[in-house]
Amino acid sequence: MGETCRQALRVGFDNWGFMGQKSVRMSEGATRVVWSNRASRCWIHTRFGAAAPLSAVAELTSLGLYIRRRGAYRHLKRAPAKVGHRQMGNVGSKKGTNMDDYKAMMLGVYLALGWLAVPVQAVVPTPEEMTEAKEWVAAHLGPTTEVYPFSFTYGGQPSRELLKTWQVQRAVRQLDTSRTQRTITFLDPRTKLQVHCEIIEYSEYPAVEWVFSFQNQGERDTPILENIQSFDVGLPLLSKQSVHFPKDAIVHHAEGSMAQLTSFRPFNHVLGPGQRLSVESTASSWALPFYNIEWESGGIITAIGWLAAPWKAEFWRDNRPLISVRTGMRESHFLLHPKEAVRMPRILLLFWKEDRIRGHNLWRRLMLDHYSPRPGGQLVPPMLYTRGWGNWSEAQHLARINWWRQHDLPMECYWIDAGWQRAPKPEEEYEYLNNAVVREDLYPNGMKAVSAAAHAQGMKFVLWWGGGNVCYPSPSRVKKVRPELLSAEHPGTDHGNPQINRWMIDYFSRAIENWDIDIYRQDSRSVAPADRGPDRVGINWARSAAGSCTFWDALLERCPHLMIDNCCGGGQNIDLEPVRRSMALWRSDYQVGTDNDPIGMQGQTYGLSFWYP
């Protein structure tokens, strides 16, 4: 029964209406049980199979009573749960409606009904979709291509004219059975500017990814690079079989995560001739960096990879049967110094036909297969988390960890959030450039004592690093004790500063290993310093985005067991680069507020699931 409880809990509260972040108060205090947002129904079929005997249904229906009997809800007498804006009655109380008691007894019934639902068959690409993708790649990124799907202006001239006259080299190599990498390298013979483009094609999906970079291989500053677009194409709305003018195109996209009821709200913008749409954000704060362009015979889904940096996407129609799309840096107007290199946003494109929802399901499969972290070579399963605040004492944490096992309840991760840290003393400042010294008054045996206790009970250990210079070095402290880490060219304490990035990689690698951390929770993101002149607009954000990828990649390489939570205020750091390296355990700070409502959480599940499985 214990295994059934574990597996069913992974899905029960998802279907109940609290998918993503759900909380149940257990005993005194504010312990939270947090579920990550994976598709719920698949877990029921994983546990029992598509043709499970009815005894499995009976087992599930007894789950609620099992939880009740084991004591998980009896502690609610001390801490009644809050649902929406209503305060529910205590367990055992004769006053009012006892919603939590009701949930405990009915959870198994609800799971059984979910299991009885008709299973969804996995979507498979059609030959037509694979053909369309291959033809598009050949036309836009092939040996005979004249107009590439990216663009920029260099020295006042458009790249689509310049690249035709530059030297070009191509190479192909097989990465594995599913992926082929192609590279295209252009070189301006006059100024020695190199443009290097890496392309990934998939043999099992109608998808293609590319990212390009610039490098000044000359001895002088380059002319100005500006209007840099990672995706700049006109997409025909007429299929080969169409004989009439197409209907309007629809751009499907979503709101970002700003701790609101409407986080991840879907938008469907219809664009007819002469209409235009512009969307921009920093990472996923105001808008998700994903969109689906639908036309009469199909469409494309696109993702932007530009870790924690500002981006912009534009869509417009004229009187021709096509939709123009332009996606890239929000601002770009800079020269490159000798030997300087800079990377642009990554783009992923998937072609689909027939039904739009089928296209999203195909996209979700692609994301799970090729753009989801796999520590130890395995896809991260949904896990149960219990959270304690960092300002609790070591003894409180140890008691809470033991509580779960004493009650024979499944708990897979122990999570310590903000409050465990302090600023360094003067004699500690050289070692601690950030405010991340473990508080001795709360943790006399160090953080390792808590992680060891969690591991002894079979739990993984999650530790928070957040804002207020807990994650990133304090600029004033760096200037005081490590001024050599700053320079006129790199004045910030962000990932765009190579010296700061190297210090952060070393510091966090040591902390992760010494404290035996399984999941590094980063509740912040790199913020680039202000541009240092009219001829360097955007360069610091480009460095910051590339350095953020370098930082996470280095941690994952040094600590192969590590998982990363890309929190950043809850769901504000979701794009193609983070999702391939991390997961979102806490998708919105809307859940923190006193006015949060299950309807909002259901809405977040609906909106985010289109793009991020």
Looking at the structure, do residues 396 and 304 belong to the same domain, yes or no? no
Summarize the confidence of residues 368-377 as an average pLDDT.
92
Q: Which of 311, 337, 370 is the last residue of a domain?
A: 370
Residue 52 burial by CB count (10 A; 0-12/13-18/19+): exposed, middle or buried? middle
Q: Which amino acid is at 165?
A: T
Q: Is residue 605 in some structural domain?
A: no
Q: What share of the chain is helix, strand, coil (3-state, %, to 5)?
A: 30, 25, 45
CB-CB contact of 60 with 112 (8 Å): yes
- Name the packing angle between helices 63-70 and 99-116 (round to 10°): 150
Domain of residue 447, CATH code = 3.20.20.70
pLDDT of residue 239: 61
Query: Are 178 and 270 in a shared domain?
Result: yes
Q: Are residues 150 and 182 in the same domain?
A: yes
State pLDDT tens for residues 160-214.
999 999 999 999 999 999 999 999 999 999 999 999 999 999 999 999 999 999 9
Please indicate, yes or no, whether residues 222 and 172 belong to a single structural domain of this protein.
yes
Residue 343's identity, in one-letter code, is: R
Q: Tell whether 359 and 392 lie within a shared domain.
A: no
Question: Residue 60 has what pLDDT?
Answer: 41
Whether residues 397 and 531 share a domain: the answer is: yes
Whether 138 is covered by a domain: the verdict is yes
Query: Are 210 and 269 in the same domain?
Result: yes
Q: Identity (one letter) of the amino acid at 135?
A: E
% of the chain exceeding 90 in pLDDT: 68
| 320 part of a folded domain | yes
Residue 380 lies in a domain: yes
Q: Pick from 479, 555, 497, 474: which is nearest to 521 by CA?
A: 555
pLDDT at 501: 98
Residues contacting residue 174 through CB under 8 Å, at least 6 positions apart: 180, 181
Same domain (yes/no): 277, 250: yes
Rounded Cα–Cα distance for residues 386 and 415 (Å): 6
Prediction pTM value = 0.82
- 547 located within any domain: yes
383 and 493 both lie in a single domain: yes
pLDDT tens for each residue of 391-414: 999 999 999 999 998 998 889 999
Q: Note the pLDDT of residue 121.
A: 54
| Closest by CA position to 203, among listed 370, 85, 316 | 370
Inter-residue contact 351 to 261 (CB < 8 Å): no
Domain boundary among 116, 135, 154: 116
Statement to judge: residues 435 and 557 lie in one domain: yes
Regarding whether 131 and 111 lie in a shared domain, the answer is no
The count of structural domains within the chain is 3
Is residue 304 within 8 A of residue 363, CB to CB? The reply is no
Same-domain check for residues 332 and 461:
no
> What value does the mean pLDDT take over residues 469-478?
96
Distance from C-alpha of 16 to C-alpha of 64, rounded to nearest angstrom: 13
- Could you tell me the pLDDT band of residue 467, with boundaries at 50, 70 and 90? confident
In a domain, residue 473? The reply is: yes
What are the distances in angstroms from CA 507 to CA 355, 433, 503, 518, 551? 49, 10, 6, 16, 11
Domain that holds residue 208: 127-370
Instruction: State which of 303, 335, 370 marks the end of a domain.
Output: 370
Structure tokens at 586: 């806490």
Length of the chain: 613
CATH classification at residue 334: 2.70.98.60
Mean pLDDT across 592-611: 87
Amino acid in position 452: A
